[in-house]
């Protein structure tokens, strides 16, 4: 069986990533940066740009699925989805712990998977080290029993299997249909994303300040559109043909199936591609995405002369980024995605796991930033004092219990 159709998909995904990398570079599109702006300055503009991308993808997927243009049922199976966002077995602990690990990791490593690739394209060698750590730790989770031995063997028994209840997946519409006895799941799968996406859009554009940020608005629209295009390509008519063709191939390409923009799983694919001696069948769409984002960022940097050569300033900076990369690799695989893979692509499927993952990422990232802030201001005080103060700041503890103050 020839790989012509698959090769076309690789080209499409490279083009998607090329635009993504250049645009993310120009607009400084970064979820960790958005969280930092919110935590440190109360500035929500970059957060609104990210949510705008989410909202448009959510609404787009809902409409296309309702019209039968894309088949999102593919995302309920490990055989036809990368990753299976709507898998009926809701292992909520993997999303909670994985998202927390990822959020801490991206704060320590100065950026999520997307930002790491963009910075690497700018010439930042710190990001190369972080990418190597993400790739190696993600590969450890993918291709060994590490994920099961350390995590899933005790998480799986605590999971909620919606399939046993009669639901076709863990997306909100399927769960609501089972809980309420409603039979028109298709209509629910339209109404839920329209409602969620609509509320997000209202929040995004209710800010007069954000409405003046043309670049951030354009960035959110285009990135949301790119994620939607990824779903159309792989879960649309041609994508279903590709999946069917692969079933009859003697050596099918690796990690095909319904998918869109995501970055952590593909780093494991990259490790495997290199290990396999760059065999074409291991050149996954995810690997092409990584290459495209780096290339897009590099071309933008080259054209506008924004090269930012950077290396570690001290050993503690080096080890902090090493730890951050490892946490992102392990946590990202456990959570089935990163700030893009779950935050935009996964969220658009309305899967419960995506909601848990992204909430854990944002909360843990903000807590880590605040902790680092208080440790920097009060280095003579204990880590416990800083941690308790962070919990008070985040309203997990009464404010009267806070032990440190801003200077």
Domain residue ranges in the chain: 4-401
Of the candidates 164, 185, 129, the one whose C-alpha atom is nearest the C-alpha of residue 322 is 129
Classify 242 as helix, strand or coil: helix
232 neighbors 70 (Cβ within 8 angstroms): yes
The per-residue pLDDT for 4 is: 79
The per-residue pLDDT for 1 is: 43
What is the Cα–Cα distance from 108 to 69, expressed in whole angstroms? 41
The per-residue pLDDT for 6 is: 87
Q: Give pLDDT tens digits along the chain (407 positions).
A: 456 788 899 999 999 999 999 999 999 999 999 999 998 888 999 999 999 999 999 999 999 999 999 999 999 998 889 999 999 999 999 999 999 999 999 999 999 999 999 999 999 999 999 999 999 999 999 999 999 999 999 999 999 999 999 899 999 999 999 888 887 788 999 999 999 999 999 999 999 999 999 999 999 999 999 999 999 999 998 888 888 777 677 778 888 889 999 999 999 999 999 999 999 989 999 999 999 999 999 999 999 877 778 899 899 999 999 999 999 999 999 999 999 999 999 999 999 999 999 999 999 999 999 999 999 888 888 899 999 999 999 989 998 889 888 75
What is the Cα–Cα distance from 242 to 259, expressed in whole angstroms? 13
Of the candidates 11, 7, 6, 14, the one whose C-alpha atom is nearest the C-alpha of residue 291 is 14
The per-residue pLDDT for 306 is: 78
What is the Cα–Cα distance from 261 to 285, expressed in whole angstroms? 9
Classify 353 as helix, strand or coil: helix
What φ, ψ does residue 264 adopt, rounded to 5°?
-80, -50
The per-residue pLDDT for 118 is: 95
What is the Cα–Cα distance from 155 to 173, expressed in whole angstroms? 24
Task: List all residues 6 or more positions away from 150 whose beta carbon is below 8 Å from its beta carbon.
Answer: none
Q: The dihedral of CA 214, 215, 216, 221: what is its sign?
A: positive
End-to-end CA distance of the chain: 67
The per-residue pLDDT for 24 is: 95
Q: Give tens-digit pLDDT for 142-153.
A: 999 999 999 999
The per-residue pLDDT for 14 is: 97
Q: List, in sequence order, every beta strand (DSSP E) within 72-151.
A: 89-90
Task: List all residues 6 or more positions away from 285 whose beta carbon is below 8 Å from its beta carbon.
Answer: 9, 10, 13, 82, 234, 255, 256, 259, 266
What is the Cα–Cα distance from 25 to 122, expressed in whole angstroms? 8
């Amino acid at each position: 069986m020839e790989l012509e159709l698959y090769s076309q998909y690789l080209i499409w995904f490279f083009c998607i990533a090329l635009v993504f990398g250049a645009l993310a570079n120009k607009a400084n599109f970064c979820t960790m940066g958005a969280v930092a702006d919110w935590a440190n300055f109360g500035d929500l503009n970059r957060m609104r740009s990210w949510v705008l991308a989410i909202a448009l993808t959510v609404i787009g997927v809902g409409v296309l699925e309702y019209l039968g243009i894309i088949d999102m049922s593919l995302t309920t199976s490990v055989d036809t989805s990368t990753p299976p966002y709507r898998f009926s077995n809701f292992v909520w602990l993997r999303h909670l712990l994985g998202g927390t690990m990822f959020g801490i990791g991206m704060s320590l490593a100065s950026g999520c998977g997307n930002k790491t690739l963009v910075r690497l394209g700018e010439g930042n060698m710190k990001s190369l080290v972080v990418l190597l750590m993400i790739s190696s730790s993600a590969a450890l989770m993918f291709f060994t029993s590490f994920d099961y031995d350390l995590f899933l063997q005790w998480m799986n028994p605590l999971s909620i299997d919606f399939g046993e209840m009669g639901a076709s997946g863990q997306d909100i519409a399927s769960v609501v249909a089972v809980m309420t006895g409603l039979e028109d799941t298709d209509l629910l799968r339209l109404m839920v994303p329209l409602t969620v996406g609509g509320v997000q859009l209202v929040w995004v554009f209710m800010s007069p300040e954000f409405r003046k940020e043309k670049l951030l608005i354009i960035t959110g629209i285009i990135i949301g559109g790119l994620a939607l295009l990824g779903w159309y390509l792989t879960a649309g008519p041609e994508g279903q043909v590709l999946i069917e063709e692969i079933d009859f191939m003697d050596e099918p390409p690796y990690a095909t199936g319904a998918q869109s923009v995501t970055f952590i799983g593909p780093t494991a694919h990259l490790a495997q591609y290199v290990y396999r001696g760059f065999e074409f069948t291991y050149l996954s769409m995810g690997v092409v995405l990584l290459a495209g984002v780096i290339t897009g960022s590099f071309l933008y940097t080259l054209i506008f002369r924004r090269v930012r050569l950077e290396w570690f300033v001290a050993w503690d900076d080096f080890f902090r980024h090493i730890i951050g990369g490892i946490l992102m690799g392990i946590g990202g695989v456990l959570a089935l995605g990163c700030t893009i893979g779950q935050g935009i692509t996964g969220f658009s499927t309305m899967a419960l796991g995506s909601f848990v993952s992204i909430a854990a990422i944002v909360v843990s990232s903000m807590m880590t930033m605040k902790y680092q802030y208080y440790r920097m201001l009060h280095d003579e005080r204990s880590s416990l004092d800083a941690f308790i103060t962070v919990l008070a700041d985040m309203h997990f503890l009464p404010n009267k219990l806070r032990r440190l103050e801003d200077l």
